[in-house]
Amino acid sequence: MLAPIGISWWRHEAAEAVFDEAFALTVGTGIFLWWLSRHHSRELTTRDGFLLVVLTWTVLPAAAALPLWLYLPGMSFTDAYFEAVSGLTTTGATVISGLDALPYSINFWRMLLVWLGGMGLIVLAVAVLPLLGVGGRQLFKAEAPGPMKDSKLTPRMAQTAKGLWAVYGLISLACVFALHWAGMSWDDSVVHMFTTMGLGGFSTHDQSFAYWDSPTVEGVTIAFMALAGLNFATHFMAIREQSLKPYRRDPEVRWYVVVMVTSVFAMACYLFATGTYPSFAQALRFAAFNTVSIATTTGFANTDYTLWPVFAPLWLLFLCSFVTCAGSTGGGIKMMRAMILYKQVFRELKRSLHPAAVSPVKFGSDAVQSPILFAVLAFAFMYMVVLVSLTLVMVLSGLDPITAFSAVVACVNNTGPGLGEVGPATTYAILNDFQTWICTFAMLLGRLEIFTLLVVLSPYFWRK
C-alpha cells in the first residue's frame, strides 16, 4: 500500500488517511501472526502448499478491500471484498460506478491489484520464500496455471519465478510507453498497463476504452492483451534464446493465433453483414478490440457489445472459456486443455471405427501422458459441473437465466463483464449480497483452477 499512500500524499487526496489506516492494520496483523509462528520452521508439504495458496487468495483480498471499504461511502464489506478479489484474480468485474470521480490513488490501488495478481502472488512469493528458509515447489505447483505445471524452465523454482516476473516487468514497461505514445496521459498509461498486462479490465473511466474513442489506443492495447494471453514461459524462452523459434514451435501459440485471428475477422464480417456498422473498417475496429479483450479474458470494452445481434455476444462469451494459453495471465480452461480435449474426442471417433488402432493423443510431437490426459478430462468435467451448479444457484436466488449464466461464466473464467444485467455498460452492483458471494467464490475457483480450492474444501484434505 506504500505506492497509493505516496500518490495520495503527493496529490493531497483525502484517501491518504484511509490508506494509512489500512496499512497500519495490515502490518500490525502481519507482525502479530509472524510473532505467533516465529518458532515454527519446516519444509512445506504438498498439503501445506495447497492450504497456503487458498489462504493467501482468501485473506489477502480482505486486506486489499480495506481502503475501498473505508473510503467509499455506502460500500459494504461484501462489495469491497468482491472488488478486491476481482482485482487479484484479474477478473475485472466491478461494483463501483462513478470511476471518473474517484481519487487517482483509489483507482491506482484497484488496478495495481490486477497487475500483482496477473502472474500470481504465489509465484512472486516463490522467489522470496527461499530467503525465509521455506521451499517453493509445493506453492508453485498449487498456484501456477495450466495442466503441465510440473515442467521446469530453470533448475530452481525461485529462478523460474524471478525469470517470469522479469519478463512480465519488461513487457509491462513497454506497455506504459506504448499507451502514452498512443495518446493516454501518463497517469492513465500506468494504471491501464496494470490491467492490460494482468488481463483484468478495470479502468479509471465508466466508459472504459470508449472514453478515448481512439483506434491508436485500441490497437496498442490489442497488441499487449494478445501478448499477455500467451504463455509467459514461451516469452521467457524466446528472450533467453533471443529467437522467435519458441513461438513457432509451440503448438498452443499456433492455435491461439489461428483462433484469435479467425474469430476477429469472422466477427467483423458478421457485424458488417448484419448492418451493425456501415463500413467493414469500422466493423473490424470494434470486432478486433472486443473479441481480443473478451477472448483474453481482459474485459475492456469500447462499445456495449450486448447491443450487437445476439450471436455476437454469445460467441464472445464462448471464446473467453478457452482461448488464453496456459501460463498466461488469462482465465478459462486454457488453449492447451482445449487442444487435448479436441484431440481426445477425435481419437475416440477414430477408435469407434478402428477399435484395434493405437493412436495416442499428441501435444506437438510429444504424446500426452495418461495422468495429464485424465487430469484434463477431470478438469473439463468439474468445469461444467461448476458452471451448471452455480448458474442454478444464481437463478434460484432471483436472477434471470441470461444474467445468471453469463455472470457465472464471466467470473469462473475471470473475464469480468457478462450479459444481461452485468454487461459491459453496467456493474455487478445489481447483485444482492448472496449473489455477490457466489460470484466471489466463482472468481476464486477460476483463478485457482477449480481443484486447488476444491481440494482444500474436501473432507479428505483434513483427514490425517
Asked if pLDDT for residue 138 goes beyond 80, the answer is no
* % of the chain with per-residue pLDDT over 70: 89
pLDDT for the residue 226: 95
pLDDT class for 127, splitting at 50, 70, 90?
Answer: very low
pLDDT for the residue 294: 96
pLDDT for the residue 20: 87
Compute φ and ψ for 405, nearest 5 degrees: -65, -45
Q: Is residue 368 part of a domain?
A: no
Asked if pLDDT for residue 45 goes beyond 80, the answer is no
Q: Is residue 462 part of a domain?
A: no
Residue ranges making up the domain that contains 84: 2-198
Amino acid at 11: R
Over the stretch 433-458, which tens digit does the pLDDT of each residue have?
Answer: 999 999 999 999 998 888 888 888 88
Contact (CB, 8 A) for 112 and 193: no
Q: Is residue 459 part of a domain?
A: no
pLDDT for the residue 128: 40
pLDDT for the residue 146: 56
Q: Is residue 388 part of a domain?
A: no
Look up cell 500483482; give the residue: 116
Q: Is residue 84 part of a domain?
A: yes
- CA–chain centroid gap for 317, Å, is 15
pLDDT for the residue 122: 47
* % of the chain with per-residue pLDDT over 90: 53
Contact (CB, 8 A) for 105 and 4: yes
Q: Is residue 429 part of a domain?
A: no
pLDDT for the residue 13: 85
pLDDT class for 132, splitting at 50, 70, 90?
Answer: very low
Asked if pLDDT for residue 424 goes beyond 60, the answer is yes
pLDDT class for 134, splitting at 50, 70, 90?
Answer: very low
Compute φ and ψ for 95, nearest 5 degrees: -110, 5
CA distances from 386 to 147, 268, 345, 432 (A): 18, 32, 22, 20
Over the stretch 350-391, which tens digit does the pLDDT of each residue have?
Answer: 888 777 777 777 777 777 788 788 888 888 999 999 999 999
Over the stretch 167-207, which tens digit does the pLDDT of each residue have?
Answer: 899 999 999 999 999 999 999 999 999 999 999 989 999 99
pLDDT for the residue 125: 42
pLDDT class for 140, splitting at 50, 70, 90?
Answer: very low
Average pLDDT over residues 150-165: 65
- Of the ranges 33-47, 110-124, 241-255, the best mean pLDDT one: 241-255
Look up cell 492513465; give the residue: 188
Overall number of domains in the chain: 1
pLDDT class for 151, splitting at 50, 70, 90?
Answer: low
Separation of alpha carbons 61 and 339, rounded Å: 33
pLDDT for the residue 129: 39
Q: Is residue 139 part of a domain?
A: yes
- Of the ranges 15-29, 48-62, 147-161, 306-320, the best mean pLDDT one: 306-320
Q: Is residue 401 part of a domain?
A: no
Asked if pLDDT for residue 265 goes beyond 90, the answer is yes
Collapsing DSSP to helix, strand or coil, 306 comes out as helix
Average pLDDT over residues 143-152: 52
pLDDT for the residue 126: 45
SS3 of 197-240: HCCCCCCCCCCHHHHCCCHHHHHHHHHHHHHHCCCHHHHHHHHH
Separation of alpha carbons 390 and 398, rounded Å: 13
